[in-house]
Amino acid sequence: MEVISMIDPGTWTRFGVHYGLFLGALQSNATSGQLGYWLQRGALSLTNMVGCFAMTELGHGSNVPGLETTATFDEASDQFIIHTPTVTATKWWIGGAAHSATHASVFAQLIVKGKRYGTKCFVVPLRDPKTYNTLPGINIGDIGKKMGRDGIDNGYIQFTHVRIPRGYMLMKHTKVSRSGDVQEPKLQQLTYGALLQGRVAMVVDSGNTSKKALTIAIRYAAVRRQFSNSKSNIETKLLDYPIHQRRLMPLMAQTFAMLFTGTEMTAMYTKLMSKLESADAADSSDLDEVLEMLKETHSTSAGLKAFCTWNCLDTIEQCRQACGGHGYSAYTGLAGMYQDFAVQCTWEGDNTILTLQLGRYLVSSYREALKGKKLSPGVGYLNNLDSLLGKRCQITDLENILDPAVIIEGWQVVCANVVKNTALEFEECLKKGLDVDDAYEQCSQSRLYAAKLHSYGYLFNRFVDGVAKVQSELKSVLLDLCLLYGLYTIEQNAGAFLEYGYFNPKQMEYIRLKTNDFCKAVRNQAIPLVDSFNLSDYVVNSPLGRADGNVYVAYFDKVKNSNPQGPHPYFNKIIKPLIERDTESGAIEDEEAGLESDDEDD
């Protein structure tokens, strides 16, 4: 699936919607018996059904509790009635709905005996799988042209009093009996699992898509020559210019950081889902452990989904610009890549909202740390506030800055200070009489800042952990990449490191100079590094990113084959009427073309 995402993002999304979201909703919300039923019906084998994930509405996206679609229990028939009460309740942007899906996992407001119980998940048949005709009460349409990723048929869905069996409500957590009794879970948070898999997948996909973009830009930079110096008539490769190394090598380091982090997040998610499956609802200590894991995974995946997709989109654009004018051509692949990837910054949760969720978790963790609670490893540095706040870099030799432990400590100091200040701002809002939610909103900018800095530090930690596990001679190359990422991100956030005094100006200047050195060191391994991604020319799908370096011939052939020469396409319709229209000057023929005679100069 990771390879498919690089070849055809639309096809990857189609499979991802069914297996990641629809099937993920079943796994997270269905009882074991219900899950077995839908798997037997073809949810796992993708036979006799294609699923979609109907959460987002025309009027609501990130605010899931505010969804308007209703699911009203009818005791007489033992059925739920799914209904779209307003135009804003129309399910919107639903991948696969327009033409592909036969079933949907629909998120709707549960109403039993006139009482609302919040948003729950229901399986609703949409089409007859034999004829693909929509079922009674189902209105489906295509939402039309998008910025990119046209390979996925996003659609809208409206329900008009659609009846489904009571058993089609997924009741792993909230249960509704035949008589209309509602049994709610001890922890509503346990229902969040369906959203996590998609976010984790996007962290992984950010690393993979960045690999493809960098393969194109770096291979092209190793071929493209521009200008010669005074010592040689041979033009210099773009990749040999220090400023070009500055443009691309930190992005290479960042991509490896995202790849290591994606692996870590996948393992974290797998562990969480295993724990959720085996959790004993009657054991309070077991539930507490699961809740802590869920809070960390939910918040971390939210923040990293935002951080990594933003970084990947920026990487694609920087790679496009690094290819100069040719980067603007659709045939070089980067323009389309940007259009296809941009949606990842807003679907599965708007990036700003998700970053704020991580910021809220950081403030909450800080407050818990002050009460003596031992925190999860990802925010464990907040248990060391006494030693981190006010700490300065203790090195005596500037070269010691290149110790990963020093960089890790620097990020911990900065993040501890920023989170503390955010929490203090939050506390001040509470003292002014604001309720908790309003107080969090008032300090939203500080939460956003804290979450972004935390994510920088988190990625560097995961990079260091990954490099530590490598035993081969590749370790030195990966360590250079790791240090480049650490130093570059410190340089990019120099204000915070100087503000909280961990590094002084002299040390920051050293970091800037060493960043240049590591850019050059990584440049020397740049081609082997992109070759290590093992992406074939078919996957890269760009004449500028060819493995054999024959970019100009391939590019010219691509342009010629895609635009065959023939009769002028619009001469008679547009150009001829324009240039042959009547004017006072008339048709003037002059072989001298207005050139003055030499005699006139005498």
C-alpha torsion angle, residues 399, 401, 406, 407 (rounded to 10): -150
Contacts of 539 (CB under 8 A, 6+ apart): 3, 6, 7, 212
Alpha carbon of residue 159 to chain centroid: 31
- Cβ distance 187 to 287 under 8 Å? yes
DSSP string, 375-390: PPGGGGGGGGHHHHTT
- Cβ distance 484 to 518 under 8 Å? yes
User: Burial of 393 by CB count in 10 Å (0-12 exposed, 13-18 middle, 19+ buried)?
Assistant: middle
Element (H, E) at 140: strand 138-142
Compute the distance between CA of residue 326 and CA of residue 239 in angstroms, rounded to an integer.
16
User: Burial of 147 by CB count in 10 Å (0-12 exposed, 13-18 middle, 19+ buried)?
Assistant: exposed
Compute the distance between CA of residue 12 and CA of residue 151 in angstroms, rounded to an integer.
9
Nearest by Cα to 348 from 96, 44, 21: 21
Compute the distance between CA of residue 40 and CA of residue 44 in angstroms, rounded to an integer.
8
DSSP letter at 16 equals I
SS3 state of residue 273: helix
Residue with the two structure tokens 């040689």 = 232
Compute the distance between CA of residue 486 and CA of residue 476 in angstroms, rounded to an integer.
15
How many beta carbons lie within 10 A of that of residue 552, not counting itself? 13
- Cβ distance 1 to 16 under 8 Å? yes
DSSP letter at 165 equals E
Helix boundaries (H) for 191-323: 193-221, 242-278, 284-322
Compute the distance between CA of residue 472 and CA of residue 483 in angstroms, rounded to an integer.
18
| Single-letter code of the amino acid located at 228 | S
Q: Taking the CA of residue 575 as centre, how many other CA atoms within 13 Å lie in the half-sphere pointing to its CB? A: 5
User: Burial of 551 by CB count in 10 Å (0-12 exposed, 13-18 middle, 19+ buried)?
Assistant: buried
| Single-letter code of the amino acid located at 7 | I
Nearest by Cα to 28 from 167, 182, 124, 172: 172
Which neighbouring-strand residues pair with 71?
A: 82, 110
Which neighbouring-strand residues pair with 111?
A: 72, 116
Compute the distance between CA of residue 477 and CA of residue 328 in angstroms, rounded to an integer.
32
Which neighbouring-strand residues pair with 116?
A: 111
Compute the distance between CA of residue 599 and CA of residue 602 in angstroms, rounded to an integer.
5
- Per the annotation, the verdict on 348 as an active-site residue is yes
SS3 state of residue 324: helix
Out of 264, 317, 348, 409, the active site residue is 348
- Cβ distance 354 to 310 under 8 Å? no
Residue with the two structure tokens 């960045």 = 210
Where in the sequence numbering do the catalytic residues fall?
Answer: 348
